[in-house]
């Protein structure tokens, strides 16, 4: 069982000119499942390499169960890593599975038992004597995962393991990983840029920004309903949160063509300061005729998502808003909207949540 603590981790690949990740603080509790979510290039792989010991961070410390392992080589960390592109050796699937046990001091029969057990778990028993390098990508990835599982590691890191797999085989692999990980009691960190994968896999999700900073660490519920940063609101959701720029006025926020009047909420900003209003498409109220307190918007585009769900792309001067509706609507060119105060998340100019 291993708890992993990252303390003030920053990494630069070019001697401090640019930073791949900056000031990351995270605690991964022992035996739990986590997702590390962020756009391409945000530093996810860098963090995994720092955890497994392939990379020494420029700054900061890594602890395993409160032991400082920052200077430990990978062999001393007991971590397995599964990469985006499956890594298999040019030998049979069985030999691939036995490979990580080569230097483990247990009888051959024990090793075979472990290999068969893992093959069973991963549904590759029928492939054991096939040459691994001739398999399709999805099966190759199963073998890679098998090689990670066959050792008694405490920590398994998965770096976008699904993204190179044929799309029609991803679901099956995802289900399998979920099943295995649930009763494995290993600390697992699953890296992805796909929010659905993060949500399915991670009990808690760490969301990173494009520039290598940690923006929020929480359950999907928390990051969905209480984004700590504008980017989290925008990045999570289908489509993401609307972010409308405005200025603080006495009665609320001036959004240009209309005002958002606040009765309950207080903003910790001065009058005249910039503020960003975040509202999820499903929380925008829609009226199909003129209604007291509602603002007229032109319908620019209707995106039918099926199952009685439509995204309306709306415009009023320079303000663009997406709204989700579940009623049947056809051929409408104008709607009236209301932004309910209770659902708004306010961000300051830098994107940090302020209310």
Binding site for Mg ion (CB under 5 A): 44-45
Q: Residue 43: name its binding partner from Mg ion, ligand ADP, none (Cβ under 5 to 8 Å by kind).
A: ligand ADP
DSSP per-residue codes, 278-307: EE-GGGSEEESS--TT-EEEEEEEEEEEET
Lookup: tokens for 167: 């799309």
Q: In what order do the strands lie in the sheet with 252-254?
A: 259-261, 252-254, 242-249, 274-279, 345-347
Q: Residue 20: name its binding partner from Mg ion, ligand ADP, none (Cβ under 5 to 8 Å by kind).
A: ligand ADP
Q: Residue 290: name its binding partner from Mg ion, ligand ADP, none (Cβ under 5 to 8 Å by kind).
A: none
Nearest Cα to Cα of residue 243 among 278, 217, 270: 278
Rounded-to-integer distance, Cα 218 and Cα 126, Å: 40
Query: Which of the 8 DSSP states describes residue 187?
Result: E
Nearest Cα to Cα of residue 277 among 244, 254, 251: 244
Phi, psi of 282 (to 5 degrees): -80, -10
CB of 118 to Mg ion, least distance (A): 25
Binding site for ligand ADP (CB under 6 A): 13, 20, 38, 40-46
CB of 40 to ligand ADP, least distance (A): 5
Cβ distance to Mg ion smaller for residue 154 or 159: 159
CB of 13 to ligand ADP, least distance (A): 3
Q: Residue 333: name its binding partner from ligand ADP, Mg ion, none (Cβ under 5 to 8 Å by kind).
A: none
Q: Which residues contact 206 (CB under 8 A, 6 or more apart)?
A: 26, 34, 35, 36, 37, 214, 216, 217
CB of 231 to ligand ADP, least distance (A): 14
Cβ distance to Mg ion smaller for residue 45 or 144: 45
CB of 81 to Mg ion, least distance (A): 12
CA geometry: angle 26, 27, 29, nearest 5 deg: 150
Cβ distance to ligand ADP smaller for residue 46 or 96: 46
Cβ distance to ligand ADP smaller for residue 106 or 210: 210
Residue nearest to Mg ion (CB): 45
CB of 175 to ligand ADP, least distance (A): 24
Cβ distance to ligand ADP smaller for residue 5 or 45: 45
Cβ distance to ligand ADP smaller for residue 20 or 284: 20
Rounded-to-integer distance, Cα 203 and Cα 162, Å: 18
């Amino acid at each position: 069982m291993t708890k992993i603590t990252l303390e003030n981790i920053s990494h630069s690949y070019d001697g401090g000119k640019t930073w791949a990740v900056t000031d990351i603080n995270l605690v991964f509790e022992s035996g739990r499942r986590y997702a590390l979510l962020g756009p391409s290039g945000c530093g996810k792989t860098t963090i995994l390499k720092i955890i497994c010991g392939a990379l020494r961070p420029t700054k900061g410390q890594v602890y395993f169960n409160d032991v400082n392992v920052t200077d430990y080589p990978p062999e001393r960390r007991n971590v397995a890593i599964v990469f985006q592109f499956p890594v298999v050796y040019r030998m049979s699937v069985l030999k691939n599975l036995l490979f990580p046990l080569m230097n483990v001091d247990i009888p051959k029969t024990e090793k075979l038992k472990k290999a068969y057990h893992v093959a069973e778990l991963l549904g590759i028993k029928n492939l054991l004597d096939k040459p691994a390098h001739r398999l399709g990508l999805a099966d190759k990835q199963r073998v890679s995962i098998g090689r990670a599982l066959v050792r008694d590691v405490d920590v398994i890191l998965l770096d976008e393991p699904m993204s190179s797999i044929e799309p029609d085989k991803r679901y099956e692999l995802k289900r399998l990983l979920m099943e295995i990980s649930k009763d494995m009691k290993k600390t697992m960190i699953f890296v992805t840029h796909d929010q659905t994968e993060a949500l399915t896999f991670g009990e808690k999700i760490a969301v990173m920004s494009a520039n290598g900073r940690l923006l929020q660490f929480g359950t999907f519920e928390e990051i969905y309903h209480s984004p700590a940063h504008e980017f989290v609101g925008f990045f999570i959701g289908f489509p993401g949160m609307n972010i409308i720029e405005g200025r603080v006025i006495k009665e609320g926020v001036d959004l240009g063509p209309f005002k958002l009047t606040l009765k309950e909420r207080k903003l910790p900003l001065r009058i005249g300061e910039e503020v960003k209003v975040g509202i999820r498409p499903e929380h925008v109220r829609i009226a199909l005729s003129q209604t007291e307190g509602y603002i007229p918007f032109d319908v620019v585009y209707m995106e039918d998502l099926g199952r009685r769900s439509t995204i309306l792309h709306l415009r009023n001067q320079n303000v663009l808003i997406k709204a989700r509706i579940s009623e049947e609507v056809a051929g409408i060119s104008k709607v009236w909207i209301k932004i309910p105060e209770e659902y708004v998340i306010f961000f300051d100019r830098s994107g940090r949540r302020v209310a």
